[in-house]
Chain A
Amino acid sequence: MTLPEFFGCSFIAFGTPFAMFVFTIANDSIRIIILIAAAFFWLLSLLSSALLWFAIVPLREYLWFGVIFSVLFQEGFRYIIYRILRRTEQGLQAVSENPSIIENKHILAYVSGLGFGIISGMFSMVNLLADMSGPATMGLKGGSEVFLITSATQALAMILLHTFWSIIFFNAFDVNNYMHIAYVVGTHLFVSLITLLNVHEMYLATLLPNYIILLATAALAFKVAGGSKTSFLRFVKCQ
Chain B
Amino acid sequence: MDGHVGAGSSTRLNGSSGVEQRKRQNINYGANDQIDGAILDVPNVVVRPARQRNRPTASQANAGAAGSSNNGAYQATNEELDEEGLKYGAQHVIKLFVPVSLCMLVVVATINAISFYSQTDVYLLYTPFHEKSPDPGVKLWNALANSMILMAVVVVMTILLIVLYKKRCYKIIHGWLILSSFMLLFIFSFLYMEEVLRAYNIPMDYPTTILILWNFGIAGMMAIHWQGPLRLQQGYLIFVAALMALVFIKYLPEWTAWAVLAAISIWDLIAVLSPKGPLRILVETAQERNEQIFPALIYSSTVLYAVVGATITESNDRSVAAIENGVQDTEEHASSSAGPARRTGNASNVVNDDAAQAAEGMPLVTFKSHGNDAGFTQEWTESHAERVSSRQIEVQASNGQNANRSTEYRTTTTTNRPTSTFEAQERGIKLGLGDFIFYSVLVGKASSYGDWITTIACFVAILIGLCLTLLLLAIWRKALPALPISITFGLIFCFATSAVVKPFMDSLSAKQVFI
Contact = CB atoms under 8 A, between A and B. Distances in A.
B83 A95 contact: yes
Contact of A43 (B40, B94, B493, B507): B493
B500 A51 contact: yes
Contact of A47 (B82, B467, B500): B500
Interface string B483-515: 000000000010011001101111111111111
Judged by DSSP, the binding face of A is: helix
A141 to B, nearest CB: 8
B452 interface: yes
B321 interface: no
A66 B515 CA distance: 9
A50 B504 CA distance: 6
A2 interface: no
B504 A66 contact: yes
B88 to A, nearest CB: 9
Contacts of B91: 29, 97
A43 B503 contact: no
B514 A192 contact: yes
Contacts of A198: 511-513
A126 interface: yes
A97 B87 CA distance: 6
B457 interface: yes
A189 B97 CA distance: 35
B464 interface: yes
B464 A70 contact: no
Contacts of A195: 512-514
B508 A39 contact: no
Contacts of B86: 94-95
B461 A40 contact: yes
Contact of A54 (B452, B503, B513): B503
Which of A36, A141, A147 gathers most chain B CB within 10 Å?
A36
Contact of A70 (B97, B456, B509, B515): B515
B500 A30 contact: no
Contact of B515 (A36, A192, A199): A192
A150 B503 contact: no
B177 interface: no
Contact of B460 (A67, A119, A155): A119
B109 interface: no
Interface in A36-85: 36-37, 39-40, 43, 46-47, 49-51, 53-54, 63, 66-67, 70-71, 74
B94 to A, nearest CB: 4
Contacts of A36: 97, 460, 463-464, 467
Interface string A95-129: 11100000000000000000000011011101111
Q: Give the most central of A37, A127, A198: most B CB within 10 Å.
A: A127
Contact of B501 (A47, A140, A150, A154): A47
Interface string A174-216: 0000000000000000011001101100000000000000000
A53 B504 contact: yes
A37 B500 contact: no
Contacts of B506: 127
B226 to A, nearest CB: 31
Interface in B352-379: none
Range class of the B interface residue count = 35 or more
A95 B87 contact: yes
B508 A29 contact: no
Contact of A123 (B82, B456, B503, B513): B456
Nearest to A192: B515
Contacts of A50: 500-501, 503-505
Contacts of B501: 46-47, 50
Interface residues of A, number: 51
A96 B461 CA distance: 23
A19 interface: no
B90 interface: yes
A1 interface: no
A33 interface: yes
A196 B93 CA distance: 41
Nearest to B82: A94
Contacts of B507: 63
Nearest to A40: B464
B79 to A, nearest CB: 15
B89 interface: yes
A37 B471 CA distance: 13
Interface string B84-121: 00110111011001000000000000000000000000
B452 A196 contact: no
Contacts of A136: none
Contacts of B90: 29-30, 33, 95-97
A217 interface: no
Contacts of B160: none
A238 interface: no
A135 B180 CA distance: 40
Given A32-B97, A192-B513, A47 B508 contact: no
A128 B513 CA distance: 13
Contacts of B194: none
Nearest to A133: B112
Given A53-B504, A96-B87, A140-B510, A127 B453 contact: yes
Nearest to B507: A63
A46 B454 CA distance: 13
Contacts of B496: 47, 51
B451 interface: yes
Given A29-B93, A51-B500, A95-B83, A67 B513 contact: yes
A40 to B, nearest CB: 5
16 contacts: A32-B94, A46-B515, A47-B500, A50-B503, A51-B496, A54-B504, A63-B507, A67-B508, A95-B90, A96-B87, A96-B90, A124-B515, A141-B510, A154-B512, A154-B514, A191-B514
Given A95-B83, A126-B456, 10 more contacts: A33-B90, A36-B97, A36-B460, A36-B464, A53-B504, A96-B87, A119-B456, A155-B514, A158-B514, A195-B513
Interface of B: 40, 82-83, 86-87, 89-91, 93-94, 97, 451-453, 456-457, 460-461, 463-464, 467, 493, 496-497, 500-501, 503-515
Pairs A-B, 8 closest by C-beta atoms: A198-B512, A94-B83, A50-B504, A29-B94, A126-B452, A70-B515, A50-B501, A40-B464
